[in-house]
Every structure is written in structure tokens, then in C-alpha cells.
Amino acid sequence: MRASLCMALVIAGLAAASPAGAQTLPVDDTVLRRIWQMGMVEGRSFALAQALMDSIGPRLTGSPGQKAAHDWAVRTYASWGISAKNEPYGTWTGWRRGTTHIDLIAPRTRTLDGTMLAWSGPTKGPVEGDVVVIPVSTNAAAFEAWLSSVRGRFVALDFAQPTCRPDRQYDEFGGRGALDRLNEQRQAAQSEFTRTRIQSTGLSVNDIQLRLQGAGALGILRSRWGGDFGIQGIYSTNTRDIPTLDLGCEDYGLVFRLAQRNQSARLRVDARAEFTADATTYNTIAEIAGSVPGDYIMLSAHFDSWDGASGATDNGTGTVVMMEAMRILKQVYPNPKRTIIAGHWSGEEQGLNGSHAWAADHPEVVRGLHALFNQDNGTGRVVNISMQGLTGAAEYFGRWMARLPAEITQDIRLNIPGTPSGGGTDNASFICAGAPAFGLSSTSWGYNPYTHHTNVDTFDKIVPDELANNATLTAMLVYLADQEATRIPRDRRILPAGRDGQATTWPECRDGARRPPGG
């Protein structure tokens, strides 16, 4: 902590000591001046983001949208004179999303807010059925006996929120203790629901879903509320023969209450999707060749997304930052010493599969890696860079930061020495081998709970100025890293003890999953 604070103060002091003009356009380096001009004044990140997020949209692994995005990236790189290709590494479940229409048709009519989850089975045309709630079960036998009653019905499987107002409104408008009372009542009710309706069956939720499918249910109703108006987490399901539908908090509560009180809740659902043959999975790899064999700098961002929205801040923004940085470097710094590689990874949401597989397939790059810069947490400007437990990295970053404009560095803190990423994002696929792979962590802009894996992760949520900032920063870091005569050393810190007081170890590398579960 003290080392991190000291380095932050050093960087701030160096920036403050520079004249105002030098902060905006570093006078000591023509390349840095041109990078600033290309990124901050003549940047294209907004146009790239719009094309990717609006026109192509979400990029679920194994979907046509993912392949369309890979092909778009290769074409875009080619238009800039940058060599790029799609490298296959395996296969995944092929699935094409269609439209989802969910209507309440009794006891009154209402079009409901909802969609099917990824890899969900479709309906065979519009279907109608009553809604039932998974019952209180005294034991597994009671649940088994109840299963025979679900044929031709929709089953609500989640706890219904007592209110879909965000907690902040109870804190702002409620009387004394209103939020505390809500939390206490909600937690008690949710615990009872889980204990008496889920755990009492002796099955996991995934196994319950498969049993409902096998018993002839028309579909399964779920709701993963994000804690604020209209926010839903949209993930995947294991039901291949029937739809699993996520309903918005308000509409799930409506249907749940009607069914729970025997008020004749009935739905009409038309959910369309198509399973295809297992789809080839790719990473898009772009390259600007260097003059020194065996030395590499990498830009990194995962390309896939969940498909509840457009995959904008997770991780269309990171993708655009790295593409824009490559465009800038090709124009400003086309003949680097070290080969510059941009990796756009597939399968990150299923366990960093694309980057793990690529690192396993390219050990020569991992051995010769001087620095990797990865970005994967939203649209905000970069504010934190961890040294990932490499004790010699801070010296390099200190030099680089001292040469960058204060407009970019003023909010950045270096986490020294930091700890290695254990698997949250793709630099983990390289730091596990001790390769210098750093995450460029951004300020929130409501990433959690608003846009991370939700139905509102759309183009309008990006902040263009901050994308330009991040692309400019990344291009400058690549250039400055390439100026170093030596590679960043791989000396590792002694890792601190875990929460249990036990010694922790450096994360181990693994291969990525190259086929779908059970494939």
C-alpha cells in the first residue's frame, strides 16, 4: 500500500512539474505528439463502437454474431493495412437467437418484459399454458410426486422480489429504518424460499431445470434482477428442449403472485431459436511485424459477450480500444522493434477459453512477451494498473507514466507490487506463466450493477471521450514499451496469505476448453 501511494505521488509530481502545453502534447517525443493527435483529435473509436455494437450486436460464443464480428475485425484491420486472421482453437455449441414474445393472457392481457436465455430450446410455434410456482417440498420424494403435475405448464423457479424499487429509494424516501426492515424481511423470505423450495428437493437448480424439462413443462420462468429499475442479468440455460425465459423483475413478480394466489395466471409464449452444428471458435489475431525476432508486445481484449443486449461495455469497449490503438500505431509507428500483436479472444465468458488456448498454442510468444495490456471492465477511463506481482515492473511503468500527458495519467494509480490475476480476465492466461501481462482497469460508470452482463449493455452506454483516452493511452504504452532496451523482468513477489491465513501460490496455467461441455 505504501509503495503504491509513493509511486502515485511521484507520477502526480512529475505531471504537475510540466508546463501546461507539455501536458497536452509532450514536446520531447514526436511519436507521442502524433499518437495524441491521432487518438484524441482524429480518433475513430466512436465509429468503430457504433458499427460493432449496433450493426453486429452481441457476440455469444458459437453464434453467427460472433463469427460476423471476427470477420468484421479482419476486414477492418485489412483496410488499415494491418495483417489479421481468425485462428480456430476449438468448437462450441452452435445457436442462433430468434425473437421472444411473452404475453400474459389471463386473468388479464399484458405483453411481458422478457427474453429467453442463451442456448435455450425454442417453442414449436406459439404455446399457451398456466403458470405454477415450484412448491414447498418436505423432501425429495415430495418434489418427485409433484413433477407429474407440470406437463403443459410454465414453472416459476426464482424468488419474487418484494419490490423492484432500488434500495437507494428506501434510503432516500423511506422513514427511519425503512431500508433495514426491507433488507431483513427480504433476506428472510429469500432464505426460506431457497431452503424449502430448492434445497429441499436435494437437487441443484440446473438439475431441477432438467427434471422439469423431462416432465413435460412448457417452459421455465427465471428472473435475475440487477437491483435497479429495468436491470436484468441475462446468462444461459441448460434446457435444450424447452425455453428458459428471464422475465423483468416487475413482470416476474406479477406472474408469480397471480400463480401463487391461484388467480389463473396463463401465458402465451413464442420463443424462436435454432441449434446448429457445433460452431468453430476463433480468436482474431492482428499483427504489426517487428524487426527483432522473438520479442513481442500484446494488446488484449475479449471479443465475445453475453447476448441479452449488445455487449457494449463487456467487452465491445475493450475491443474498440485495442483496435483503435493498433490503427494509431500503424500510422504513427509502423516499424516497431518488437512485433505488436492484438488478441481479440472468444470464449472469455465461458472461462477465458480463447486466450488460454492461444497462449498454450503459442508458447514462443509467451516466452518472448515484453508486455501485454488488457482491458475488460467497461467504458471508463483507465484509473488503475496492477503490477501483477512482478517486482521489477514498477520501474518501467514509472518511466512511461512520467512521459505521458497529465490529462491521461492524473487519475491513474499503480498497484505495486500487486498480485497476479487468478482468472477474472484474459491477462490471467499469460501472467500465470509469469509473462508481464497487465490489466488496464477502468473507472466504473455503473458497470456493476447496470451494464455488466445485463439487458441494458448497449451502445448508448459508452463514453466516447474515455474510449479515446484509453486507446491513446494504450498506443502510448506500446510505443514506450517498445523503446525499452530490455524486457520487463519476471521476478515474482512472495504472495500474501489468503483470508484463511494459509499461504497462496502463483496461479497455474491451463489449456482453454476447446469443445462444449459434454462434447
Give mean pLDDT, residues 324-330. 98
Give mean pLDDT, residues 8-30. 47
Q: How confident is the model at residue 518 (pLDDT cuts 50, 70, 90)?
A: confident
Say what the pLDDT of residue 503 is: 85
Distance CA 240, CA 276 (A): 12
Average predicted confidence (pLDDT) for the chain = 94
C-alpha cell, 39: 487518438
C-alpha cell, 269: 409464449
Give mean pLDDT, residues 20-42. 78
Query: 507 Cβ partners below 8 Å, 6+ apart?
Result: 420, 421, 422, 423, 428, 431, 432
Share of the chain above pLDDT 90, in %: 92
C-alpha cell, 138: 418436505
Is residue 92 within 8 A of residue 61, CB to CB? The reply is yes
Give mean pLDDT, residues 420-448. 97
Give mean pLDDT, residues 60-76. 98
DSSP 85: E
Give mean pLDDT, residues 353-357. 98
Say what the pLDDT of residue 500 is: 86
Handedness of CA 2, 7, 11, 13 (dihedral sign): positive
Give mean pLDDT, residues 285-293. 98
- 67 alpha carbon, distance to own chain's centre: 18
Say what the pLDDT of residue 196 is: 97
CB atoms within 10 A of CB 326: 26
Mind listing the pLDDT tens digit for each residue in 240-269? 999 999 999 999 999 999 999 999 999 999
Give mean pLDDT, residues 273-278. 97
Residue with the bigger pLDDT between 425 and 9: it is 425
324: number of CA atoms within 13 Å, CB side?
A: 34
Give mean pLDDT, residues 146-152. 97
Give mean pLDDT, residues 310-325. 98
Structural domains of the chain, ranges and CATH numbers in brackets: 2-93+278-483 (3.40.630.10), 108-264 (3.50.30.30)
Residue with the bigger pLDDT between 13 and 77: it is 77
The answer, yes or no, to whether residue 276 has pLDDT greater than 80, is yes
Q: How confident is the model at residue 18 (pLDDT cuts 50, 70, 90)?
A: very low
Q: How confident is the model at residue 26 (pLDDT cuts 50, 70, 90)?
A: low
Residue 500 burial by Cβ neighbours in a 10 Å radius (0-12, 13-18, 19+) = exposed
Rounded to 5 degrees, what are φ and ψ at 308?
-75, -20
Handedness of CA 229, 233, 156, 60 (dihedral sign): positive
Query: 98 Cβ partners below 8 Å, 6+ apart?
Result: 122, 271, 272, 273, 274
Query: CA nearest 271: which of 121, 150, 158?
Result: 121
Give mean pLDDT, residues 217-244. 97
Distance CA 99, CA 329 (A): 41
The answer, yes or no, to whether residue 6 has pLDDT greater than 90, is no
Pairing of strands 127-133, 154-156: parallel
The answer, yes or no, to whether residue 1 has pLDDT greater than 80, is no
Distance CA 467, CA 324 (A): 9
Say what the pLDDT of residue 223 is: 98
419-454: burial string, b at 16+ Cβ within 10 Å, e else: bbbeeebbbbbbbbbbbbbbbbbbbebbbeebbbbb
Is residue 55 within 8 A of residue 47, CB to CB? The reply is no
Give mean pLDDT, residues 157-169. 98
The answer, yes or no, to whether residue 20 has pLDDT greater than 70, is no
Q: How confident is the model at residue 25 (pLDDT cuts 50, 70, 90)?
A: low
C-alpha cell, 195: 431452503
Distance CA 366, CA 509 (A): 12
The answer, yes or no, to whether residue 11 has pLDDT greater than 50, is no
Distance CA 236, CA 117 (A): 5
Mind listing the pLDDT tens digit for each residue in 368-395? 999 999 999 999 999 999 999 999 999 9
Angle at 205 between CA 257 and CA 352, to 5 degrees: 120
Say what the pLDDT of residue 8 is: 42
Place of cell 417452459: 219
C-alpha cell, 20: 501546461
Give mean pLDDT, residues 491-518. 92
